[in-house]
A and B are shown apart, each in its own frame.
Chain A
Amino acid sequence: MKRLTVADVAMGMDLPELVFTVSATRLVAGALASRDYSPLHHDRRYVVDVAGQRDIFANTQFQAALFERYLNDWSGPMGRTVQMRFAMRVSVFAEDEVAIHGTVEDVLQDGPCGPCVKVTLNMTVDGRIVTTCDALYALPADEADNPWDRGGERWLQPA
């Protein structure tokens, strides 16, 4: 099993692309798993006739979970999400094929949550960016380190 450490990462590194079809079934499964019962994410008649959209679309948590899966695929199981900041430009509709690209913008050895990386993630459909996500993601310092043990002064604290 792959276990990325911060030593394996450099600023400017591109993460492998993920292509994923957001089928209606996956989209509804994600909405229900996140306990989001808004009709926008499961009721096509409502979405088309009332909301004026072309189809049901992904809820925010589905997109967050897909980005987290992308980061988990890259790092292996020890990676730990610290923060995600989204700008959602266009909805991700049922049957869209999304491509996710990531770039390491910075490697932070110290400071809250460190070592961690800042990663910019772009989700595109037909080459057009639909969502960007700036993620802060903690990685092991070495093979013996566990980011999930970090807390207190070794982790981000609420204001």
Chain B
Amino acid sequence: MADAPTTEECAADLDPAIVRLIGRPQYVAEAGIPANERNVQAMCAAVENANPAWWSAGEATVLLGQPYCPATMLPAWGRPELWEPGQGEPLRALQAHFDLKGLLGYPASIVVTYTTTFYKPVKLGDRLRTQQIVRRIGEIKSTKLGTGRFWTVDMQYLDAAGDVVGVESYDFFGFDKGEA
């Protein structure tokens, strides 16, 4: 299994304005909601996870040493509310991907693979910031879906100390169906 992406790459034929996006944090968001038992237990109920550490902060502390949350809850701590006072047009999840898709001029895209890596455990009460980073944009390729490019966008989650707690890494293929 590969670790999270370690190198930034780009195709040689890209517009310099697009190249400048690679490796640069975008959509740096303020701290989200505190990690909390309500969301953890709602998810554990949905999938029937009976791990006692997820149903009692006291039990988690006894078992794990701290009131940790399930690792896979990570994205929940970085998502915005559905609406907040004063909010304008809501951003789409992983806006950096949609920006890139538009800049490259591809009407369609699919997620090819999705990798999530957990570097530090999240405790109840932790608040995480997020930022999005375009990691790589490949050469033009033809596949059975159409002609397009592969690219990778990371969603990073950072704690109050600025340490990367986890990364969701999305590999996309953006394409034009008419150019298959």
Contact = CB atoms under 8 A, between A and B. Distances in A.
Interface of A: 1, 20, 26-27, 29-30, 32-38, 60-62, 64-69, 72-73, 77-78, 80-88, 118, 134, 136, 146, 148-149, 151, 155-159
Contacts of A86: 113-115
Interface string B54-73: 00000000011110101111
B49 A69 contact: yes
A66 B167 CA distance: 19
A69 B48 contact: yes
Nearest to A149: B65
B108 to A, nearest CB: 13
Given A1-B52, A61-B72, 13 more contacts: A29-B43, A33-B40, A33-B76, A35-B75, A64-B116, A73-B49, A77-B52, A77-B64, A86-B114, A87-B112, A156-B117, A156-B119, A158-B4
Main secondary structure of the interface of B (DSSP, over half): mixed
B79 A36 contact: yes
7 contacts: A27-B46, A34-B39, A35-B76, A36-B93, A65-B49, A68-B71, A84-B115
Contact of A118 (B1, B44, B64): B1
A29 B40 CA distance: 11
A36 B78 CA distance: 10
B113 A32 contact: no
B120 interface: yes
Contact of B63 (A78, A118, A151): A78
